Structure 1
Amino acid sequence: MKALRCFCFSVCALLLLEESSGFRDLRRPENVSVDSLNTRYVLRWDWPHETAANQTVTFTAQYLREFRSRKASNEKYWTSVCVSVLEHRCDFTGAIHYKISFLLRVWANTSQQSSGWVQISFCPDEHAALGPPSSLKLSSIKGDLEIIITDPLSSTNQSMKTLLNDRLSYLIQYWRRSAEPQKAKFLETKNNLVILTELDRQTWYCVRVQSRDGSHNKSSIFSDTPCTRTEGQMPYWQIFLYFLISLLLCFLLVLLNFCFYKMFTLLKNTFCPAIQLPDHIQELWLSDSEKPQLLAPESPESVCELLVMVSAELDAVAVDEHSNAEEQDSSTHSRHCSGDSGVYSTEEDTGHRSDLQMSSRKHREELHDGTLLELCA
């Protein structure tokens, strides 16, 4: 009975002390949780309450090994990580061990007031999220796919396999790139080097990997998705298809060249004909002083000009006739030179020459008329 009275007296004194110091006046932080990945742990909380304008609210976060919390005087074992910080977070990375359970707590305080502690239990091995593989390499070897998986890394860049031992495994998901990921195939393994066999040749495949902890049923998000094509001999139907496509492309190329050649020839014959005008007409056409003009069809005489042509053959005939006449005259003159006077010889020679000139002139006029008619026609 005496002990009970002492306990009640102590509780009442403590309550009076808390009331006098304003310990219960400040609201506590809310939504306290741990944002964790592998061995990175960040304690987060919310504090949406209002305070006086001249007061600044700060926060203090501590941790304690859970087995020490059973002791009565455990207050001295609490270790502060963040003291009077303004942020609503505290990084516990490196302060707590992966396979040990801890108690984490946080409170809010000002220069005049303080709130109560908000405490949660946290065990990284059980509660921390597991990350995907840190890297994934995919390569094709003789028609198969070789997958090299790098373990998830801790905050000190060590493999998580050193902490999880044989519990770390990988779920491999692979599928054709043309198909949907829902139709993918799965393979679970603990090895970091995996070879996928029985794949189609000359086909693109995509792969992604997920980390798993079987003891606590933890799974990571999937890694990035690299894709590569398998090697090997191409199927016959694909070879035949490529052959048909190449023939079609060659035919289209030849047809295009033929059409281009025909069009080029047509344009060339239209704008640059093969038959050229005579040089004197081109000079007349290009002359600035005189431009060619079309003549009216009503004046055909203006189209034709008098063209006199003298044939070299006609001149040769005339010369031959003249030479023959001179020979005849000379022979005649030689026969009659003894009895005839020079007057008769001269008259006959003159008359013969006159007849020869008349016949030559007539022949030239006939040739001139025929040529003129041909030119006018």
Structure 2
Amino acid sequence: MTALRCFEVCFVLLLKVSAGFGDLRRPENVSVDSLNTRYVLRWDWPHETAANQTVTFTAQYIAKHNLQKQLWRPVCDDVLEHFCDFTKAKLFYHNLFVLRVRANTSQQSSSWVQIEFCPEKHAALGPPSSVKLNAVKEDLEVTITDPLSSNNQSMKTLLDNNLSYLIQYWRRSEGPQTAKDLPTQNNVAMLIDLDRQTWYCVRVQSRYRRFIINKNSVFSDTQCECTKGDMPYWQIILYILVSLLLLCLLLALWYFCFYKVFTVLKDTFRPAIQLPDHIQELWLNDSEKPQLLSPECPESVCEPLVMVNAVLDEVEAMDEQSVNAEEQDSSAHSRTGSSDSGVYSTEEDSCHRSTTHTDLQMSSKKHRAQLHDGTLMELCV
């Protein structure tokens, strides 16, 4: 009778268990999203349920060394979201825990899905909370603030002072630059051997080294600062020379433009063609201004001008020389002539001389008239 009673009880328990865990699927892709001391358990549940059934989720944790005691502590109970924030549970950073989650409906629950989680090993390390740069002459002072926990506590206290930093700095320019590394465990570091009056950019990475644990954070935001310090003499001289060169080029360009404009204006309002000098002298003398046009005649009239005596005298001298040459030739011809034709030769020579002299005078007069007419034509405009 006792054995039969025990069999009935076991059968009822099996039915309950099968009713509770048989049909409902459990969550999938369970993981912990963590940074410093912020821990969020996330999961997926892409399954379908019967109509009018709402699926909720329950999440719990326990220290692994207490797993046999089954002292589970709930963090999220019947929540609709697919995540549970374990930050408020304040898990000890160096301890190992077991986290679990399951799906629930009004009639049944799924089986548990559990994972192990150690914050020291699995939680990501954050970058410094802030990085500040201060120019000290030609050096840069880097001030680093430790990454903070969920309660704004320095992570260095949780990591047993095993927190260090890697500083990367480079000269800011348009082209790619090779960064220099400076590891340090201090919160204040000095960047030396930098160029004066130059921009440098800095970023910092957090590092944690302990036993087999090796964690690196992402780099902080890039900060840039310009160094100070006196400018070297060679650079000052170079700047002065470049400034003078640019000034000279500017002055030359200004002078060239001014000369071009002045030349155009001068050619426009004062042409290069000028009157002869003797006419300009007469024009400048108010008492002897020439009158090229007669006030009585409406048309253009050419006034006869007196020829320069030097030209006429030169022509007369040439005529006299020609006459003398002819006379000498005639005399020589008469002396070498025949003796029996003396009277005839004399008469012929005299006639020839008179004819030649007359022709020369006519030629001289004609030449004078041509010069006189040409001068008048040149002076008439």
Q: What is the rounded CA distance, in whole Å, between the counterparts of 2:7 and 2:99 in structure 1?
A: 30
Tell me, yes or no, if structure 1 residue 83 matches structure 2 residue 77. Answer: yes
Partner of 2:197: 202
- Aligned residue for 1:107, secondary structure, equals strand
- Aligned residue for 2:154, secondary structure, equals coil
Q: What is the rounded CA distance, in whole Å, between the counterparts of 2:25 and 2:297 in structure 1?
A: 125
Q: What is the rounded CA distance, in whole Å, between the counterparts of 1:58 and 1:28 in structure 2?
A: 11
Aligned amino acid, residue 69 of structure 1: L
Contiguous gaps of at least 5 residues in structure 1? 1-6, 276-299, 305-376
> Could you tell me the TM-score, scaled by structure 2's length?
0.63
Comparing 216-225 with 197-206, which one deviates more in the overlay? 197-206
Partner of 2:222: 225
Alpha-carbon deviation of 1:242? 2.1
> Could you tell me the TM-score, scaled by structure 1's length?
0.63
Tell me, yes or no, if structure 1 residue 16 matches structure 2 residue 15. Answer: yes
Tell me, yes or no, if structure 1 residue 28 matches structure 2 residue 26. Answer: yes
Q: What is the rounded CA distance, in whole Å, between the counterparts of 2:129 and 2:28 in structure 1?
A: 34
Comparing 184-193 with 198-207, which one deviates more in the overlay? 198-207
- Aligned residue for 1:119, secondary structure, equals strand
Partner of 1:63: 61
* Residues matched between the structures, number: 270
Q: What is the rounded CA distance, in whole Å, between the counterparts of 1:96 and 1:148 in structure 2?
A: 30
Alpha-carbon deviation of 1:236? 4.6
Q: CA distance change for structure 1 residues 301 and 207 in 2, over 3 Å: closer, same or farther?
A: same
Alpha-carbon deviation of 1:84? 1.6
Superposition pairs for residues 1-377 of structure 1, below 5 Å? Answer: 14-19=13-18, 21-71=19-69, 74=70, 77-97=71-91, 98-178=93-173, 180=176, 183-215=178-210, 216-262=213-259, 265=262
Alpha-carbon deviation of 1:122? 1.1
Q: What is the rounded CA distance, in whole Å, between the counterparts of 1:269 and 1:94 in structure 2?
A: 92
Q: What is the rounded CA distance, in whole Å, between the counterparts of 1:122 and 1:302 in structure 2?
A: 124
Aligned amino acid, residue 21 of structure 2: F
Q: What is the rounded CA distance, in whole Å, between the counterparts of 1:90 and 1:270 in structure 2?
A: 93
- Aligned residue for 1:200, secondary structure, equals coil
Alpha-carbon deviation of 1:217? 0.6
Q: What is the rounded CA distance, in whole Å, between the counterparts of 1:70 and 1:42 in structure 2?
A: 25
Q: What is the rounded CA distance, in whole Å, between the counterparts of 2:150 and 2:63 in structure 1?
A: 21
Q: CA distance change for structure 1 residues 260 and 33 in 2, over 3 Å: closer, same or farther?
A: same
Aligned amino acid, residue 111 of structure 2: G
Alpha-carbon deviation of 1:269? 6.9
- Aligned residue for 1:217, secondary structure, equals strand
Identity %: 62
Alpha-carbon deviation of 1:14? 4.4
Partner of 2:312: none
Comparing 40-49 with 169-178, which one deviates more in the overlay? 169-178
Q: What is the rounded CA distance, in whole Å, between the counterparts of 2:55 and 2:267 in structure 1?
A: 92
8 Å CA contact 1:59, 1:84 repeated in 2: yes
Deviations 1:302-354 (A, max 9, x none): 789xxxxxxxxxxxxxxxxxxxxxxxxxxxxxxxxxxxxxxxxxxxxxxxxxx
Aligned amino acid, residue 103 of structure 2: A
Deviations 1:284-304 (A, max 9, x none): xxxxxxxxxxxxxxxx98789
Aligned amino acid, residue 180 of structure 2: K
Q: CA distance change for structure 1 residues 249 and 150 in 2, over 3 Å: closer, same or farther?
A: same
Alpha-carbon deviation of 1:135? 0.5
Measured on the aligned residues, the alpha-carbon RMSD in Å equals 3.1
Q: What is the rounded CA distance, in whole Å, between the counterparts of 1:117 and 1:228 in structure 2?
A: 54
Deviations 1:161-193 (A, max 9, x none): 121121111111122223645x32222111101
- Aligned residue for 1:137, secondary structure, equals strand
8 Å CA contact 1:24, 1:116 repeated in 2: no
Q: CA distance change for structure 1 residues 237 and 112 in 2, over 3 Å: closer, same or farther?
A: same
Q: CA distance change for structure 1 residues 87 and 247 in 2, over 3 Å: closer, same or farther?
A: same
8 Å CA contact 1:41, 1:91 repeated in 2: yes
Deviations 1:223-257 (A, max 9, x none): 11112222233345533432332123212322343
Q: CA distance change for structure 1 residues 263 and 85 in 2, over 3 Å: closer, same or farther?
A: farther
